[in-house]
A and B are shown apart, each in its own frame.
Chain A
Amino acid sequence: MFSKILIANRGEIAVRIIRACKEMGVATVAVYSEADKNALHVALADQSYCIGGPEASESYLNENQIISTAILAGAQAIHPGYGFLSENAHFARLCRKNGLVFIGPDAESMERLSDKAVLKELIQKTKLTVIPGTKAVASMEEAKLAAGKIGYPVMLKACAGGGGRGIRLIRAEEDLEEAYLQATSEALSAFGDGSVYLEKYIFPARHVELQMLADEQGNAVCLGDRDCSLQRRNQKLIEETPSPAIGGEQRKRIIALATEAVQKIGYVGAGTLEFLVDRDGNFWFMEMNVRLQVEHTVTEMLTGIDLVKWQIRIAAGIPLNFTQQEIRMKGSAIECRINAGSCGTLEMLHIPGGPSVRFDTHLIAGTVVSPYYDSLLGKLVVFAKTREETLRKMRASLCELVIDGISTNIEEQLRIVEDDRFTTGNYDLTFMGNR
């Protein structure tokens, strides 16, 4: 096992990883920007190094600084967390070149799986169903032909797009020409690449993802599904497991297919397969995230399996020591993301407790929430034997959570968990007024 790991991240996930390391007896190295010099992850780690200015590009995205720090500090491995460099194949390669273990998939897998076209081709060879679509279309005529084949309505998306930009919904053929011209020109100006592709429009839909773990020896397991349909502008707000929309047999089937697929593509590490589930319960494969997710917590609460520890063990070549049949998936877990509405200094923090109540945060007294990073303050996660009890626990815990000095979305989250649509499990991606 590695005796020292550098955590190339900040905030609540850096704290999370350091906690796992402490339990495993692994020494920890934190890196921080000037804006984070008093952060909790810095205080918790065994060693800490300032690696640059507050802008992410100067610090948390500064690959060379991070590698040098790892070598200087004597770390054998780097955990990238989520965001920042966690899905950066160049950084993974740089780690390998410098004799460091990148805790995640290898660079080549990352490249393969992040190329949407390559990934779709790989997945098409498994028994999972990919959202019907095209590669980049070369012309309007090609787009018309392809859209006719897929069947309206279709989504027109920028190949280089992201963050919800460069996406157009086309309901009928007569709308295609104008949409195509607008989408290609928007993509060119926003991303420097005007190429677009088409995808079937799955609506109404829920966003359901599967947590996968696979080791070097070719063993793969699925730790269940998460329903992440509660989103605003593609930002997840609340996640739960299991999804109230998926039945027992359906779940068994998709778990078996997903596990087989992960083995077939030779993936190693923790990863998430994302799907859109339509009204008929069909799973349409969207994409794969080759890192730990923010909402890994609900899976941990449900299964009792520590995902961060297993990421580290898998990176050290240790095989999984449990089978699919041994994974417990009884009960219900919900996570509410607590986000800052503004910058500010934390004046008072009170964290709820009790059985199966968890708050993953980087907040301690005096924490300054700066404008440089994402607004996530913490994740409130609860678990109980039934969904009804979990909802009760979440309501009680949200009411007990106090974060003074910074405006937060606690009250909005409370309204959501009291909303009939959420309590009955009858919600989808349109809940927050999205498409």
Chain B
Amino acid sequence: MALINFLKPKNQLEEGGRSAALVQRDEGEPEKKCPNCHKDIPLSRLWANRLVCPCGYHFRMKARQRMKMLVDKDSFQELFAGMKAGNPLNFPGYRDKAENIRAASGEEEAVICGTAEIGRQSCCLFIMEPYFMMGSMGSAVGEKITSLFEYAQKQRLPVVGFTVSGGARMQEGLLSLMQMAKTSAAVKRHSDAGLLYLAVLTDPTTGGVTASFAMEADIILAEPGATVGFAGTRVIEQTTKKSLPKGFQKSEFVLEHGFVDAIVSRLNQRKMLAEILKMHNGG
């Protein structure tokens, strides 16, 4: 009995999704456990997915890793690389701590600044470094960010910034707090010049950084599940003597309450930032 020769329907391939298997891992390759889905994910697979677990959990990223995944190839030109903290208050142990962290993280400070292109749109870019004293803002971080906004204002460039911070750097006391005012002033002058500032809040963005330049952007985006707040939940509960609602200070909660404009997965950030920059440039 001969096989029936069926006609073949001309249906276009459905769009979306992967067209092949994810990058294969080697036997014995290190894995990272996702705190959300509890699965062990091979590092190569995580890296291929921009340090986002298949379940959607966004792992913390080093500033330069984020920069490489975000900007057009070889377009990042670093500015103010030499700026680093002194020890203005002679805070005990601060100098040594900072030196150790420099050696471990490979960074001089808790933020990298520069110019870059994202989807062929020029911008000034700052990305905070979570592995440098938890992205805390001291004089050097404040000076770098201020200088970047001043540079952007002169060059008439938009600013794109990625925040991650535990807040002001307590080892520099009032000088750290002063950076809140200094950066805010620079942001204001840049804004008055008619220029765009776009911030992406990553996990966690707290304290003096939230209370200053992080929340002063024209468009505020956030990564899924990021903690965004000022004071910590424990302090709030102890002060108010009230228990906090579910999901408090998560970016989704903050979105619901009108403090961020949109939540954007890391997988879509490059495209969205490029589109916003293009629209702002009149493209």
Q: Which of A23-31, A198-206, A379-387 contacts B (4 or more CB under 8 A)?
A: A23-31
CB neighbours of A318 from chain B (8 A): 16-17
- Which of B1, B9, B14 touches A1 (beta carbons < 8 Å)? B14
Query: Sorted from nearest, which 10 A-B pairs have the closest CB atoms?
Result: A316-B17, A25-B13, A25-B11, A318-B17, A216-B54, A366-B1, A43-B3, A218-B55, A266-B37, A24-B14
CB neighbours of B15 from chain A (8 A): 1
- A218 B21 Cβ-Cβ under 8 A: no
Determine the distance from Cα of A364 to Cα of B54 in the docked complex, in whole angstroms. 42
Determine the distance from Cα of A26 to Cα of B16 in the docked complex, in whole angstroms. 13
B interface vs A, CB < 8 Å? 1, 3-6, 8-9, 11-21, 24, 36-39, 54-56
* Number of residues from A at the complex interface, CB < 8 A: 33
Interface residues of A in 58-103 (CB under 8 A from B): 76-77, 96-97, 99-101
Cβ contacts A299-316/B at 8 Å (1 or 0 each): 000000000000001001
CB neighbours of A317 from chain B (8 A): 17-18, 54
For residue A44, CB closer than 8 A to chain B, the reply is yes
- A100 B55 Cβ-Cβ under 8 A: no
- A76 B21 Cβ-Cβ under 8 A: yes
For residue A2, CB closer than 8 A to chain B, the reply is yes
- Which of B6, B21, B37 touches A43 (beta carbons < 8 Å)? B6
Nearest chain-A residue to B39 (Cβ)?
A: A266
Most chain A beta-carbon contacts within 10 A, residue among B9, B21, B37, B55: B21
- B4 A364 Cβ-Cβ under 8 A: yes
- Which of B3, B5, B6, B16 touches A316 (beta carbons < 8 Å)? B16
- A217 B55 Cβ-Cβ under 8 A: yes
Q: Describe B's contact surface by its main secondary structure.
A: loop
For residue A176, CB closer than 8 A to chain B, the reply is no
Nearest chain-B residue to A39 (Cβ)?
A: B3
CB neighbours of B54 from chain A (8 A): 216-217, 268, 317
CB neighbours of B36 from chain A (8 A): 218
Determine the distance from Cα of A44 to Cα of B16 in the docked complex, in whole angstroms. 25
| Min distance, Cβ B4 to any Cβ of chain A, angstroms | 5
- B13 A266 Cβ-Cβ under 8 A: no
CB neighbours of A316 from chain B (8 A): 16-19
| Min distance, Cβ A322 to any Cβ of chain B, angstroms | 15
Cβ contacts A320-336/B at 8 Å (1 or 0 each): 00000000000000000
- A1 B13 Cβ-Cβ under 8 A: yes
Most chain B beta-carbon contacts within 10 A, residue among A97, A217, A364: A217
CB neighbours of B38 from chain A (8 A): 266
